Amino acid sequence: MDINTAFQLAIQYQQANDLQKAKQIYEEILKIQTDNVDVLYLLGMVDYQLQNDDSALDCFKRALPLEQGHPTIPHAFMMMANIYHKKGYLDEAVTYYEKALRSFPSNADILKPLSAVYIKLKKYDLAIQPLRRLLQSNPNDAYLHLALGLALKEQGMTDEAISYFHETIALNPDDPIPFKSLGIAFKEKGQSDKAETYQRKHEEVLRKLNAFFLAGNKRSGSSFIVKLLNLHPKIFMSHESDIIWILQNFHANRPIVPYPLDDPMGMQHTLYTCGHFLSGTNSPKENYFTVQQCLMREGFNLLLPPMNKPGATWIGDKKPVQYSDPSLVEFIFNIFPDPRFIHLVRHPFAVAKSAKLFQGDGGYIWKNMSLEEVIEMWTKYEKWILDLKEKHPDSVLDVRYEDLCRETKREVKRIYEFLNLDFDENLLTEAAALSKLNPKQVPEISCSEEAVSIMSQYGYKPVEHLNP
């Protein structure tokens, strides 16, 4: 196959979202034509979509000196800026956002993250202009109003900031921060009555909000249960926001590095999208709800669409291992008076098989592990859950993944009741429609007596077992 034919085939694969095949062909072409700028750019885009950030940066850096006024340059600048932003290299991110902005001065995909970076760098004066421009085309975005209000307040433009806090509340009355911000602003203006009124409203909003977490092991069907839970208008559960890990580090004034036992992708997305709302003047509880509600309205990559849920009272996150970790659980109980944990458990042999199939080779976590080692990991995390249940028995609900698939209505009803939520039969019927029972034969895997003992508590046996 000649290079032109291969190049066109790779483009077809890329357009069909078969990114791995496209990547393979582009890499083969570059072995022959190392300075093919179009291939470098397209491979960089593929790696960007695959979140291979270092490889994408390398491709763009190699391509840019070879460009001769090619229209791909501004797009490459934007993607490089996003990568630097996610990695926390904020000065570099600003450099490339500003370069991209010269070609696309009204592009919201540049203006929004650029304003967020300015706020993170405490360059509030520079954040104001892009936020104003964004609001011209997005007047109903509550979080643009909030960000602009906070930036204006930092610049001493209190009266104008107050108007934006009011707009935020009109669009999203469930976020406690604009109420708190108004209380502070009016106190500074010497209007104590108004300050006290908004402080009381701030406390009322906080009291209505509850936190819950999905705990257990990864590859236990957690993405499925997130879809089911988000059907309820009073529930929002984010997709691996790492919010508690972020808050634990942020409020201890430690660098926010990735959680050691997990993929950093969720943490990076949260900080990239909503990290500019983290504030040391807010409590961990306040930061939790503001960031999570921001994620609800922004969405979470392709995994969770943007949602508008006025009056959502249960705000949660899916990160099963982190919310089993005793140190993070202790931090949660220090923040919230009555947090709830949904413990999703699945037969460990099915978990191990799913883990090793993840991304074809086990991915970031399980790539170099044997099936037996995955079972040991499962056992460790389930022991954490047993410790949690012993200390806080009323705060944990066990849900077997197999039962969730087979008896979806019954299990979803149990969860609603656990959260003291009203519901109707239509919600249960909608949840059942999402259930897909896919029986698979899972072979026996050698495991410890401790693993067998924990398995038995959930009705599992260490023999060939038919699992959904």
Q: What is the mean pLDDT of residues 417-430?
A: 95
Would 12 be classed as within a structural domain? no
Model-level pTM? 0.92
Sign of the CA dihedral with 356 first, then 361, 363, and 365 last? positive
| 151: CATH | 1.25.40.10
Decide which of 77 and 364 is more confident.
77
pLDDT at 441 over 80: no
Report the C-alpha gap between 201 and 14 in whole angstroms: 51
Is the same domain home to 422 and 304?
Answer: yes
Among residues 148, 174, 202, the one where a domain terminates is: 202
Q: What is the mean pLDDT of residues 153-180?
A: 96
pLDDT at 465 over 60: no
Domain with 376 in it: 209-467
Q: How many domains does the chain have?
A: 2
Q: What is the pLDDT, as a whole number, of residue 468?
A: 52
Ranking 22-36, 272-286, 294-308, 409-423 by mean pLDDT, the lowest is 294-308
| 371: CATH | 3.40.50.300
Q: What is the pLDDT of residues 362-388, one digit of tens each?
A: 777 888 899 999 999 999 999 999 999
Would 109 be classed as within a structural domain? no
Q: What is the pLDDT of residues 285-332, one digit of tens each?
A: 999 999 999 999 998 876 789 999 989 999 999 999 999 999 999 999
Is the same domain home to 192 and 333?
Answer: no
Is the same domain home to 176 and 274?
Answer: no
Q: What value does the mean pLDDT of the chain take? A: 93
Strands (E), 47-103: none
Report the C-alpha gap between 152 and 146 in whole angstroms: 10
Is the same domain home to 349 and 446?
Answer: yes
Is the same domain home to 188 and 248?
Answer: no
Is the same domain home to 181 and 217?
Answer: no
Is the same domain home to 319 and 436?
Answer: yes
Cβ pair 149, 175 in contact under 8 A: no
Is the same domain home to 303 and 160?
Answer: no
Q: What is the pLDDT, as a whole number, of residue 303?
A: 76
Report the C-alpha gap between 142 and 254 in whole angstroms: 30
Is the same domain home to 455 and 348?
Answer: yes
Among residues 202, 224, 253, the one where a domain terminates is: 202
Report the C-alpha gap between 442 and 447 in whole angstroms: 14
Q: What is the pLDDT of residues 81-105, one digit of tens each?
A: 999 999 999 999 999 999 999 999 9
Would 68 be classed as within a structural domain? no
Is the same domain home to 296 and 444?
Answer: yes
Is the same domain home to 299 and 167?
Answer: no
Query: Which amino acid makes up residue 135?
Result: L
Q: What is the mean pLDDT of residues 414-437?
A: 93
Reported confidence tier of residue 71, pLDDT bands at 50, 70, 90 = low
Would 314 be classed as within a structural domain? yes
pLDDT at 464 over 80: no
